[in-house]
Amino acid sequence: MSIPGLGQIPAPHVESTTRIVSLRKACEWRFHLAPGGSISVKLLSGTAEKDGIELAPRGAYKFCGPVHGKLLTWHGCDIEVDGRTEHDTTASFATTIENPAASHLNLHAQLAEMRGVAARFGREGPRVLVAGGRATGKTTLARTLASYATRQGAQPLVVNANPGEGMLSLAGTLSAAVFATVMDPLAADGWGGTPTSGPSTVPVKLPLVYYYGRESAEADPEVYKRLLGRLADGVSAKLSEDPDVKAAGVLVDSMGVDAGSARGLELLAHTVDELSVNIVVILGRSGLNAEITKRFATEKTSLGEPVQVITLEKSDGVVDRDDSFTEHIREAVIKEYFFGDARRTLSPQIQQVDFDSLVIYRLPDYSDYETDTLVREEACSSMEHWTLAIMHASVRDSVETIRAAAVMGFVYVSDVDETKRKMRMLAPVSGRLGDRPLVWGRWPEPFINLLG
């Protein structure tokens, strides 16, 4: 027996979120994903790349927000997009040369030629620093040049000299790593995974990391210079011991410098000097171009080479990310460090430790009463939700030794019981801290909702 009216109920309409995006040669598909948003992208035909990283045909790539990204094709392609973006658009160019990415490819070709000469004669390859103001696409260019180099079999050593963002590490750090294998286009930081990130389909990288602990290099220039010097020593050692890395050279992603900033320009010049940079690439056109060109007109590297300054147009797809967006990116990197991502789930360990077993230092406020580079600090509730750096040093070492030490990893403080003198912390792996000191910095800021 039928129920009257039941058959008249229409089936709900489900709107498909899958679409095909067709791109002509030298065109780009630009997309924005809000925090929590995601899309799956599949290359159906042709070729496409993200920041120089080739997409495999028919493979599904799941991009998770927050992301401001683009897919570029040199020969034309069809891509399948499943999911909703916050915003997306297709950028078309009448000719290939009109796309600013063409100048990036030409720069790569010049660097590849220099690497070939360096390999034949046993010399150092090009040492390139990417400079520019805020929101000019510096990191994207550095990543693209590294990707192009690895695709041709080169092994460039990439340096992150911008503490505002991390490379294979959390924000607040300076890092360097050899890129000898394919990069990960889906990583939260855009670079890839490290051994603490667990098993991965993309080979992990082994970075050398120093903890600066502040957002801007200008906030504490003397400590910044000291740590950059330590990083430069590590870079020099790697170039000396590996002829393939030596020939491939160095790519430096620098901090943003505003036109007219004397301190910023001085720190940029210090970076060029420490890393023996012989090519400075400036993205975008502003008063900074003339200042940098004038500053390095008579400079020579430690090898006696002149410093060449090149200006490239920035892409009109570069957007100025607001504070909320960049905060979400930093939180995504922290979350990925401890818990992994959609492709690999990690199981960090919660540890409860006594106050007496911890040796914690904090960065000073540099008041009249605090002039040291680190200040000893008792565990307290103010540390809740902060990440602390585990230093590659002993608690018996001097403050200066600890401050200049490399980073072993990070822990997250989830709870502090001052009455019981106990601290609960999240660590990427099990095991005690031993006699390793911890450093409490000022960047990245606390992540309140890491554990929900």
On whether 192 is known to bind a ligand per the annotation, the reply is no
Q: What is the rounded distance in angstroms from the CA atom of residue 150 to the CA atom of residue 22?
A: 28
Q: What does the pLDDT average to over 175-201?
A: 81
Q: Are 160 and 136 in contact (CB under 8 A)?
A: no
Contacts of 21 (CB under 8 A, 6+ apart): 29, 78, 79, 80, 81, 90
On whether 96 is known to bind a ligand per the annotation, the reply is no
pLDDT of residue 372 exceeding 50, the answer is yes
On whether 140 is known to bind a ligand per the annotation, the reply is yes
Predicted confidence at residue 1, as pLDDT, reads 46
Q: Are 30 and 91 in contact (CB under 8 A)?
A: yes
On whether 62 is known to bind a ligand per the annotation, the reply is no
Contacts 24+ apart (CB under 8 A), 428-434: 428/196, 428/337, 428/338, 428/346, 428/348, 428/349, 429/196, 429/348, 429/349, 430/349, 430/351, 432/351, 433/353, 433/357, 433/358, 433/390
pTM score: 0.93
Architecture category of domain 99-312 in CATH: 3-Layer(aba) Sandwich (3.40)
Tell me the DSSP string of 71-132.
Answer: EEESS-EEEEEES--SEEEEE--SSGGGSHHHHHHHHHHHHHHHHHHHHHHT----EEEEEE
Dump pLDDT digits (tens) for 84-118. Answer: 999 999 999 999 999 999 999 999 999 999 999 99
* Domain 18-91: CATH superfamily, name plus number: Clp1, DNA binding domain (2.60.120.1030)
Mean of all residue pLDDT scores within the chain = 92
Q: What is the rounded distance in angstroms from the CA atom of residue 236 to the CA atom of residue 302?
A: 12
On whether 138 is known to bind a ligand per the annotation, the reply is yes
What does the domain layout of the chain look like in residue ranges?
18-91, 99-312, 347-440
Dump pLDDT digits (tens) for 279-333. Answer: 999 998 888 889 999 999 888 998 899 999 999 999 988 888 889 999 999 999 9
**Tokens 């970076």 appear where?**
271
pLDDT of residue 233 exceeding 70, the answer is yes
Dump pLDDT digits (tens) for 436-446. Answer: 999 999 999 99
Q: Token pair for residue 196?
A: 């603490």
Residue 401 CA, distance from chain mean position:
26
Q: What is the fold, at CATH topology level, of the domain defined by 347-440?
A: Elongation Factor Tu (Ef-tu); domain 3 (2.40.30)
On whether 137 is known to bind a ligand per the annotation, the reply is yes
On whether 60 is known to bind a ligand per the annotation, the reply is no
pLDDT of residue 370 exceeding 80, the answer is no
